[in-house]
Structure 1
Amino acid sequence: MDPAAAAAAVRHRLRDDAEPVRNLATFLTTSFEPEAVQLHSAYLNRNLADREQYPATDELVQECVRILGELWGGDGCRVVGSATTGSSEAALLAGLSLLHRWEERTGSGARRPNLVMGAGVHACWRNFCRHWGVEPRVAPARPGCVGLDGAVAAELCDESTIGVVAVLGGTLDGRYEPVRDIAAELDQLADRSGIDVPVHVDAAGGGFIAPFLDPDLQWGFDLPRVVSINASGHKYGQVPPGLGWVLWRDRDHRSGRLGFPVNYLGSNHTYHEFTFSRSAAPVVLQYYNFLRYGFAGYRSLHARSRRLAQDLAARLRATGRFQFLGDGSDLPVVAVTAEPDLKLSQLARRLGECGWAVPVYQLPPDLEELTAMRVVVRSDLRPSDVVAFAAAVDEFTRPHAV
């Protein structure tokens, strides 16, 4: 085939996919400015791993780490971190560092390590536990809440606990877990028992929301018990899919066993990621966004999304047919369950016919009899879209329509 024919064939194969802008299931950024698209194309062929040939690109990585470290309450001169292919890789690296440091502290022996988390954690944490032989200690979900709280977290910890994962913006409900309360309970546990458990914050959603919209919220490196944080640049960091970040408060809290030396690119460098060769374009776009938006720009962008999410929640609440897991007060996400006579799967199909893709999913154990529906409000959703979406829901949920 010639290039035009091959491109046309690919487009034809993908013609039935959902339109990304109307995909309210995804957290990933779906719209980009022309300048961002041009930059992404221009740097697509640069290998992020080749620090010898692209030293300025590596400097961008380090500058982004410094910016994020300060944004998350750390010392920009002390934080260390990596750009990853997504937040899942970042979480796996953080989990492995927790495991290595626990082994170094305790000698491990015959005891099986465990990791404490809430029922609403991302699937990558269960994958981490499965592949590295760690027991997942999962706090049960409760009516109206799938997250972890401090008291339960402390109860689940013992000498074999490598860490507690606190989620800043759950995938299932968009809610922040109370990181400060979790850290305080673990401080008390350490005082009375000597069991000293570090906290990792999975801020895949909230890492680019809370610093701008909730500046008084304590959740990051300003809490001494928080040793590492991961986030998704390709979610609310406004970067195309393919970028995550993992940061540690300093070199002492990142396990040295994560590093591996490489010299075949022309000089000696130590890498701390699982992946190696990958495009530098997402990192270039992250730095572009830091320049483009600045603090005030990110705050304005996300404040608009939160307002739209809360407006949507108010419109859905007015139907009287939903109970809310998340109402847009934390992440700009609306998550609902429904009365028994309202089938969310049928509602989702109806919304699909109107062009809106929304997920319906089963809640975790202890609430598994319930299904939920989630709407993610991103920066490219318009007020008129919220009105149209809510109107479609209202039409379906009226008594005569059920």
Structure 2
Amino acid sequence: MASRQEEGGSGDDGGSRHGRVTALDPAGPTSKHPLRKLPLLFPRLLFFCYYPPFVACSAIYPPSCIPLITTRAESSVSATPKPVTPPLSPRSFCGTVSGASVAGSRPHGSIQGGASGGGGLLRALHLWVAIRSFLSAQLDTWIPALEMLVLLSGFVDVSWLCFCRFKMPENSIPKDAAYQIINDELMLDGNPRLNLASFVTTWMEPECDKLVMAGINKNYVDMDEYPVTTELQNRCVNMIAHLFNAPIGEEETAVGVGTVGSSEAIMLAGLAFKRKWQNKRKAEGKPYDKPNIVTGANVQVCWEKFARYFEVELKEVKLREGYYVMDPVKAVELVDENTICVAAILGSTLTGEFEDVKLLNELLTEKNKETGWDTPIHVDAASGGFIAPFIYPDLEWDFRLPLVRSINVSGHKYGLVYAGVGWVVWKSKEDLPDELIFHINYLGSDQPTFTLNFSKGASQIIAQYYQFIRLGFEGYKNIMENCAENAKALKEGIEKTGRFNILSKDVGVPLVAFSLKDSSKHTVFEISDSLRKFGWIVPAYTMPADAQHVAVLRVVVREDFNRSLAERLVSDIGKVLAELDTLPSRILAAEEDANGAVTKKDPMEQHREIAAYWRRLVERKRTSGVC
């Protein structure tokens, strides 16, 4: 792991294997000038300030002048002169150069607007792109000019900046402008690294990022055109099958497929169970129109989608306070002759807890012997499938159990790949009915396919194979142990506040789920909202039936969540609690007298209490130097 930290950056960040993220520092003689910070703090304001003056100036510079200006701008930042006409682009575009139409190029100053005044506008945009190249190197001399641009912008019509939200714009704009517009809006998204609600991977090594970009234009389904990519997927399936102890030989091919995530994987596994059950019922001459599936109420929504989309009754084992996973005893009680499978979860979304698959297997085996049924088990290991084999190797939950016939796992969770890849593996070929597999030849050769979608990118498949061979068993083990240690440190910090009950277990997915001991002053939802101002995205939610009265917060500890971030989060939670304790958010609308009689307060009395509370609060902050 040491070498991995060295390659990724400094290893002094509490277990992270990343380099430091340094903030931009506008150093220089004009760093104190307010306009110097505009590109960093107010990019959209700068956007409004730069464009309108050049719209006004577009009448001064005719189209024939813009190639010359652009060429001079380019030569000012590069010693090598560049041709006025750019090379052909893979994206076809028709421009007009001196009255001639040229396909496949975007010549400078040649984009014509379709509406009145559009040509002048677009010439101005091109002119702005050319002149903007001076700004980074010669900002000191441009400060007075920028101040003038701010003044001029008040006299120019900027209504063209109101881009359509529902219709495609009629005219084109420069690529730099399009990038800046979208980039500015995306700045309002949350920080993925601080999104503690998601199990999905938010960081990979730069080398893996390069492979992702190299394969981003490959369509995975074109197996004949991209045979190596197909081979990489097959290798991943074999590695996962061996990891889950599938009964296959060293060089025997496993039965499985890559998907866009565990949701698709679960749909495919469910369809296989349904078809196999229907075939058996037909052969026995029994009704096959009322299949059902048994799960816990804590399952992910994709199980509900499967049941609704494919007309399967969903039998849910209700939860109870203190027990937030499926009870194997109650699950087996719900099984009948129409049950196509029982779904167990290795890593509950709510608390991260592993369900007892071994006990479920034993109880279901007994019932199958008593009834003559053959009800199987599917394990939803979306979160825990890449955790249990590495840090809980003695835990029996996989193909070592006789009734476990298929397992799904998310590569984009603890498989350490960006969003968009999942896997489903079957124990043997007999568990996947042949009639569900399609064979196509219109891509050049016979290709078997068993997916819900067709076209998809090859990047995530490539990235998954990179992580497997890059990390190996040892690397995954080290990362999962590190995540577990960071989750333990976070749990201890939250416990020290004395305000929360910890609901998550030590054995399970590395996350911390916790609820307030006392919700009379504030709720977990208020804490979640208040943490947003520190940048943290921490979800608050209520438990499913029959534990809806329990509301919790959850922090998912991923690979890029290090010890220092855990300590910072605990500190920020303490600040939020201290602030909420001072707010009059729980002034009661009724009061109880000495005899126990409850009297409702009138609205004016409630308003007076709130006003008095706020006056005391403001006065206390003023005297303590807060305000």
**Bin for the TM-score computed over the shorter chain:** over 0.9
| TM-aligned CA distance change 1:22 to 1:104, over 3 Å | same
SS in 2 for 1:162: strand
Moved more, 336-345 or 363-372: 336-345
Aligned residue runs from structure 1 range 2-401, under 5 A? 2-76=174-248, 77=252, 79-107=254-282, 109=287, 111-339=289-517, 340-341=519-520, 342-397=522-577, 400-401=581-582
Paired with 2:457 and 2:398, the residues of 1 have a C-alpha distance of 29
The CA deviation string for residues 156-180 of structure 1, in whole angstroms up to 9 with x for no partner, is 1000000000000011111111111
Amino acid at match of 2:273: L
What's the CA shift for 1:400?
4.4
- Which amino acid in 2 is paired with 1:136? L
| Bigger Rg, which one | 2
Which residue of the partner structure matches residue 61 of structure 2?
none
- Partner Cα separation in structure 1 for residue 531 and residue 494 of structure 2: 14
- Post-superposition Cα deviations, 1:141-169, rounded to whole Å, max 9, x if no partner, equal 11122211321111010000000000000
Q: Is residue 437–residue 450 contact of structure 2 (8 Å, CA) maintained in 1?
A: yes
Read off the aligned partner of 1:250 and give its amino acid letter.
S
CA distance in 2, matches of 1:401, 1:100: 60
Change (3 A) 1:279 1:318: same
1:111: how far off? 4.5
Size of the aligned set, in residue pairs, is 402
Distance 1:110 1:215, change over 3 A: closer
Q: Deviations over 1:195-216 (max 9, x none)?
A: 2210000000001111101000
Give distance in 1, aligned partners of 2:199 and 2:510.
Answer: 10
**For residues 481 and 180 of structure 2, what CA distance do their matches in structure 1 show?**
39
What secondary structure sits across from 1:104 in the alignment? helix
Unaligned runs of 5+ in 1: none
Distance 1:400 1:126, change over 3 A: closer
Distance 2:358 2:253 in 1: 22
Q: 1 CA distance for matches of 2:582 and 2:568? A: 17
Between stretches 108-117 and 173-182, larger displacement belongs to 108-117
Amino acid at match of 2:469: L
- Supply the distance in 2 between the matched residues of 1:190 and 1:231 (Cα, whole angstroms): 27
CA distance in 2, matches of 1:242, 1:148: 28
Alpha carbons 1:167, 1:201 under 8 Å: kept: yes
Summarize deviations over 1:306-348 as a string: whole Å, max 9, x none. Answer: 1111111111122222222214531011111223224101111
Structure 2: distance between partners of 1:39 and 1:167: 32
RMSD: 1.4
Q: TM-score, normalised by structure 1?
A: 0.97
Task: Show structure 1 runs of 4+ deviating over 6 A.
Answer: none
**8 Å CA contact retained: 2:321, 2:550:** no
Amino acid at match of 1:345: F
Where structure 2 has 5 or more consecutive residues not aligned to the other structure, the ranges are: 1-172, 584-627
CA–CA distance in structure 1, aligned partners of residues 259 and 581 of structure 2:
50
The SS at the match of 1:295 is helix
| Per-residue Cα deviation, 1:14-69 (whole angstroms, up to 9, x for no partner) | 11110000000010000111101100000111111011111111111111010000
Shift of 1:78: 5.2
- Asked if the contact 2:531–2:576 (Cα under 8 Å) also holds between the matched residues in 1, the reply is no
In 2, distance between residues paired with 1:302 and 1:355?
25
- Of residues 311-320 and 297-306 in structure 1, the stretch that sits farther from structure 2 once superposed is 311-320
Deviates most, 73-82 or 115-124? 73-82
Secondary structure class of the residue paired with 2:385: helix
Contact 1:78/1:250 (8 A) holds in 2: no
How far, CA to CA, are the matches of 1:17 and 1:258 in structure 2?
Answer: 41
Q: State the shift of 1:369 in Å.
A: 1.8
**CA deviation map 1:279-321 (0-9, x unaligned):** 1110000000011100000010111011111111111122222
- TM-score when scaled to structure 2? 0.63
